[in-house]
Chain A
Amino acid sequence: MGDVAHVPKPPEQAPARPSAPEPAEQAVVRPTLVVGWGSELRGDDAAGRAVAAAVGARSLAGVDVVAVHQLTPEVAAMLAGRRHVIFVDAAVDVAKVTVEPLRGEPGRPASHHAAPTALLALAGRLGWEPPRATLVRVPARNFDIGVRMSAVAEAGVHAAADEVARVCAADAGLPDPRGDARGQRAGD
């Protein structure tokens, strides 16, 4: 079954209110962006950033990586012109790494943090929403103050980094960096 679950894509929804795109930025297709976020002082909450760091260390072609404390409004500007944005976060309600497609949902945007769906909606209003967005959720169990992650989260970080690398390779038309040995995965 593997370490990763793929969540089916939800039914198509009515598009958000059309916005005025920013022509100069939308004309340039920028690399896939991996955004990992979370607090490095709250145990497993650092998982998203740890995945981003692990992906960044692999120096993948055609991939930009960002690790932030929170999804603040200016992160929306980083999405402009991207063909694909992959968000990575810790999650308490998953047993293994979960990969699911995302669409923008306005929700209630925060002044200094937002859910990725709200950030996508914010970006969409300004013509910055990428054509494709994905959320990778890493299983997390402990959010106590501290810099160490649980064994569950540590294992999840490794699996999530592999999965993100696979997705990025597919974006770039490159072979799966893990080779052919893995076989069929759940959700494929």
Chain B
Amino acid sequence: MTQIVIDPVTRIEGHAKITVRLDDHGDVDDVRFHVTEFRGFEEFCRGRPVWEMPGLTARTCGICPVSHLLAGAKAADQILAVAIPPAADRQRRLANLAQIVQSHALSFFHLSAPDLLLGWDADPGVRNVFGLMDAEPELARRGIKLRQFGQQLVETVTGSRIHGAGVVPGGVAAPLERDHIAPLRERLPQALTDATDTLALFTRLRDRFADEAASFGTFPSLFLSHCADDGTWEHYDGGLRVVDADGGLVADRLDPTHYRDWIGEWAHADTYLKSPYWRDRASPDDPSAGIYRVGPLARLNVCDRFGTPAADGALEDFRAAAGRPATSSFAYHEARLVEIVACLERIGDLLDDPTLYEPFVRAEAGINRRRGVGASEAPRGTLFHDYTVDADGVVTGVNMVIATGHNNLAMNATVLQIARAYLDGPDVPEGALNRIEAGIRAYDPCLSCSTHALGEMPLLVRVVGPDGALLTEVRRD
């Protein structure tokens, strides 16, 4: 048995490595994706007042802090046993939509577009954001402006682009002023044009990616996401829906509070990233049969419609090309672009909703429950925050199931598929290295948020022989 070890997988959110095992014939036998960094939020948040939890857990991530603000606040809402005012609901939704726009824009334009537009085998010296700007300056401008729009809207609602304090247990911190929103309202049509133009460009280039689409995570799995009761795409509240690889409905309108009834978490000895799995399809000793995916691809597979015109048109086009459900993880890229369009349309509807500007924004209450579960759709997928507290509201237990964790089994399966397609023996060509990285990046995991050079994910790949001896080591820093 030959083993290839990629260590560290740097330039990702946190630290990780990849182990690729070759069999006696030199073919890829298995691949493992290990996260080697310990964050510890589930430990050090104990002993803190529950009112601090949204702000504390927002520090989990610098790219999608709004997601943790919302999940943390929703968990606290349950503990307070309150229904937040309608204006607060609108503000929270607005913040989440804005965050999805900016996060997806970052993922597509800065992290993935260099590969998609310059080629996976392009010279690494130009396969980066500067190369993209030289080749497609207008596309690069669109990406920056979309992210700027999303970030400014997040700042307007939550008080800061990163780690805002505007989302609190019981609602939000302050009413929204129309004057503060007006400049962003004026920029919305251009933002929507930028998004639809980019989506149109991608769909014109689809055929170029046929090989990658066939090898980047094309396997059957379940798909899980929030979904409105009528099947409309949902990002913030409501029940969960699960469909299988044939489009069959596995579960619908599930209350996220009871997530433990359906989702198990498998802890591995060689990684700090747990592997959630669907209990009904797996066993605690072998969760692989319970594999499911979350995030943009899952949300598009799960929903029946977006309910807004441009996004629904894009969804129809997406399904015609990728299938329903789309089972290739390569389709995450297009799904992200479709969601940007959908989010911008919904932002427009919200900004025109007078309820958004009402003055009542926070429900006040004391501790009325000892446990609360907050769930919402982060840009990368479904997020759960599960808090237990004592009678004074001091946190005694925390469980967080992050979107990237949901996709861990799928990321492992994807890297295995790519390695089998592009590796032949102990040699690791640069193009193969890049495709392994790209397979991970298709999921846009939080693991890639700390990428320090756009378009490059430092990897250390070690090829180990059947006896465990190191044969080859390839490092990209």
25 chain-A/chain-B pairs, Cβ below 8 angstroms: A19-B133, A19-B134, A20-B137, A72-B161, A73-B147, A74-B102, A74-B144, A74-B151, A77-B148, A78-B148, A108-B453, A109-B128, A109-B130, A109-B453, A111-B106, A111-B450, A111-B454, A112-B450, A121-B130, A122-B130, A125-B133, A126-B137, A126-B140, A126-B141, A126-B144
Q: State A122–B110 Cα separation when bound (angstroms).
A: 12
Binary interface encoding of chain B residues 450-473 relative to chain A, with 1 for a CB under 8 A from any of its CBs, else 0: 111110100000000000000000
Q: Which residues of A contact B151 (CB under 8 A)?
A: 72, 74
Q: Which residues of B contact A111 (CB under 8 A)?
A: 106, 110-111, 448-452, 454
Binary interface encoding of chain A residues 81-96 relative to chain B, with 1 for a CB under 8 A from any of its CBs, else 0: 0000000000000000
> B interface vs A, CB < 8 Å?
62-63, 102, 106, 110-111, 128-130, 133-134, 137-138, 140-141, 143-145, 147-148, 151, 160-163, 448-454, 456
B56 to chain A, nearest CB (A): 11
Q: Are B129 and A122 touching (Cβ within 8 A)?
A: yes
Q: Are A74 and B148 touching (Cβ within 8 A)?
A: yes
Q: Which residues of A contact B143 (CB under 8 A)?
A: 73
Q: State A106–B454 Cα separation when bound (angstroms).
A: 12
B158 to chain A, nearest CB (A): 13
Q: Which residues of B contact A121 (CB under 8 A)?
A: 130
Binary interface encoding of chain A residues 109-134 relative to chain B, with 1 for a CB under 8 A from any of its CBs, else 0: 11110000000011001110000000
Q: State A19–B456 Cα separation when bound (angstroms).
A: 23
Q: State A20–B450 Cα separation when bound (angstroms).
A: 30
Q: Which residues of B contact A108 (CB under 8 A)?
A: 452-453, 456
Q: Are A109 and B129 touching (Cβ within 8 A)?
A: yes
Q: State A172–B276 Cα separation when bound (angstroms).
A: 59
Q: State A74–B102 Cα separation when bound (angstroms).
A: 10
> A interface vs B, CB < 8 Å?
17, 19-20, 22, 68-70, 72-74, 76-78, 106, 108-112, 121-122, 125-127
Q: Are A125 and B137 touching (Cβ within 8 A)?
A: yes
B48 to chain A, nearest CB (A): 15
Q: Which residues of A contact B161 (CB under 8 A)?
A: 68-69, 72
Q: Are A106 and B130 touching (Cβ within 8 A)?
A: yes
Q: From the candidates B63, B130, B148, name the one contacting A125 in the complex (CB within 8 A).
A: B130
The B interface, classified by DSSP as helix, strand, loop or mixed, is helix
Nearest residue (CB) in A for B63 is: A112
Q: Are B451 and A110 touching (Cβ within 8 A)?
A: yes
Given contacts A69-B162, A108-B452, A109-B454, contact A77 B145 (CB under 8 A): yes
Most chain A CB within a 10 A radius of its CB, from B129, B163, B450: B129
Q: State A31–B456 Cα separation when bound (angstroms).
A: 35
A57 to chain B, nearest CB (A): 18
Nearest residue (CB) in B for A75 is: B148
Q: State A77–B152 Cα separation when bound (angstroms).
A: 12
Q: Are A110 and B163 touching (Cβ within 8 A)?
A: no
B164 to chain A, nearest CB (A): 11
Q: Are A70 and B162 touching (Cβ within 8 A)?
A: yes
Q: Which residues of A contact B162 (CB under 8 A)?
A: 69-70
B357 to chain A, nearest CB (A): 26
B451 to chain A, nearest CB (A): 4
Nearest residue (CB) in A for B129 is: A109
A110 to chain B, nearest CB (A): 5
Q: 17 extra interchain contacts, Cβ-Cβ under 8 A, other than A73-B143, A112-B106, A126-B140?
A: A19-B134, A69-B62, A69-B163, A70-B62, A72-B151, A73-B106, A73-B110, A77-B141, A108-B453, A109-B454, A110-B453, A111-B106, A111-B448, A112-B449, A121-B130, A122-B130, A125-B134
Q: Which residues of B contact A17 (CB under 8 A)?
A: 134
Q: Are B133 and A126 touching (Cβ within 8 A)?
A: yes
Give me the 9 closest cross-chain CB pairs, A-B, nearest first. A74-B148, A125-B133, A108-B453, A111-B451, A69-B162, A74-B147, A110-B452, A77-B148, A20-B137
Q: Are A22 and B141 touching (Cβ within 8 A)?
A: yes
Q: Are A125 and B140 touching (Cβ within 8 A)?
A: yes
Most chain A CB within a 10 A radius of its CB, from B63, B102, B111, B140: B140
Q: Which residues of B contact A77 (CB under 8 A)?
A: 141, 144-145, 148
Nearest residue (CB) in A for B143 is: A73
Q: Which residues of B contact A112 (CB under 8 A)?
A: 62-63, 106, 449-451
Q: Which residues of A contact B111 (CB under 8 A)?
A: 111
Q: Which residues of A contact B138 (CB under 8 A)?
A: 20
Q: Which residues of A contact B137 (CB under 8 A)?
A: 19-20, 125-127
Q: From the candidates A19, A69, A73, A106, name the one contacting B144 in the complex (CB within 8 A).
A: A73
Q: State A154–B452 Cα separation when bound (angstroms).
A: 30
Q: State A130–B112 Cα separation when bound (angstroms).
A: 28
Q: State A76–B137 Cα separation when bound (angstroms).
A: 13
